[in-house]
């Protein structure tokens, strides 16, 4: 039996104005939660406000800016569930030996952003609350040209296990998506569907996932009070293929 433990809860989602974060904001608000979704890009903020139609709060915040984060945390007051789905870094997809040191380091902006969200936000989170981050299947499914992405994802997942131990009884988990049909593929234009089919042809589920399907993983991590230090895979079987 599925129990909805989110009704009336305060949920803050950093990186909540686009893609997986926005889908999570919509899903949580539909379950009766009080949601604050924060993003950095004005175009995403505008679209999120239009989509929310007042059903959840939309704010501007940069995952690397402590003042931005504290402003939204203070507005929410006591936080039941803190989520960060912000990318926070640059993705360099090419062979490791061809990357510059700066290119490799830039990917770690995601890890540093998550670390700042946790450090600045944990004092607002209830003792029986949770923190949920987002990594990605490259953390454990190694393919050529993804060394930076893989290393960062692995670091995020290991940090979550460390935080689950250090911050208990606050629960800390991470959701790991596979190949997801989000705006990051929109630059492919008319080739988008064909490229996604090619990218997922060897997966157990041969299609790209949806942001809503990943959001269900985040809702599970928030909703289940007996889950902590766990990586929730929502990847269509990618890491097994």
Tell me the whole-structure pTM to 2 decimals: 0.94
In a domain, 29, yes or no: yes
Edge to edge, what strands does the sheet with 10-14 contain?
57-60, 34-39, 10-14, 79-84, 125-134, 171-177, 231-234
- Domain assignment present for residue 237? The answer is no
- Look at residue 171 and tell me if it is in a domain: yes
Residue 4 lies in a domain: no
CATH at residue 68: 3.40.50.720
Question: Going by C-beta distance under 8 Å and a sequence separation of 6 or more, which residues neighbour residue 166?
Answer: none
Three-state DSSP state, 101? helix
Is 202 a domain residue? Answer: no
pLDDT of residue 189: 76
Whole-number pLDDT of residue 102:
95
What is the pLDDT at residue 89? 83
- Alpha carbon separation from 10 to 25, 68, 229 (Å, rounded): 11, 18, 21
pLDDT of residue 197: 87
Residue 1, domain member (yes or no)? no
> Could you tell me the residue range of the domain that residue 102 belongs to?
10-179+208-232
pLDDT tens, position by position, 76-89: 999 999 999 998 88
pLDDT at residue 1 in the model: 56
Whether 129 maps to a domain, the answer reads: yes
Find, among 149, 52, 162, 181, the residue nearest to 118 by Cα.
162
Q: Which residues of the chain have pLDDT under 70?
A: 1-2, 183-184, 186-187
> How many domains is the chain partitioned into structurally?
1
**Which residues face 79 on adjacent strands?**
125
pLDDT at 192: 76
Radius of gyration over alpha carbons of the chain, in Å? 17
CB 23 within 8 Å of CB 4: no
Domain membership of residue 191 (yes or no) is no
Q: Provide the pLDDT for residue 181.
A: 85
* Mutual angle of helices 42-52 and 19-30, in 10-degree steps: 20
Give the per-residue pLDDT at 2.
63
């Amino acid at each position: 039996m599925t129990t909805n433990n989110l009704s009336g809860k305060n949920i803050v989602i950093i990186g909540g104005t686009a893609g997986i974060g926005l889908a999570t904001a919509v899903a949580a608000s539909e379950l009766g939660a009080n949601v604050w979704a924060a993003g950095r890009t004005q175009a995403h903020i505008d679209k999120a406000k239009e989509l929310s139609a007042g059903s959840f709060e939309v704010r501007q915040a940069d995952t690397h800016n402590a003042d931005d984060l504290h402003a939204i945390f203070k507005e929410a007051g006591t936080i039941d569930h803190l989520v960060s789905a912000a990318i926070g870094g640059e993705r360099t997809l090419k062979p490791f030996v061809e990357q510059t040191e700066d290119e490799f380091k830039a990917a770690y902006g995601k890890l540093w952003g998550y670390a700042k969200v946790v450090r600045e936000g944990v004092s607002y989170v209830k003792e029986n609350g949770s923190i949920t981050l987002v990594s990605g299947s490259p953390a454990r499914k190694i393919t050529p040209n993804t060394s930076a992405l893989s290393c960062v994802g692995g670091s995020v997942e290991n940090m979550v296990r460390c935080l689950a131990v250090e911050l208990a009884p606050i629960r800390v988990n991470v959701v790991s998506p596979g190949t997801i049909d989000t705006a990051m593929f929109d630059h492919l234009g008319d080739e988008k569907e064909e490229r996604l089919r090619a990218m997922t042809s060897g997966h157990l589920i041969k299609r790209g996932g949806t942001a809503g399907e990943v959001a269900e993983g985040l809702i599970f991590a928030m909703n289940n009070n007996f889950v902590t230090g766990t990586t929730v895979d929502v990847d269509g079987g990618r890491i097994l293929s």
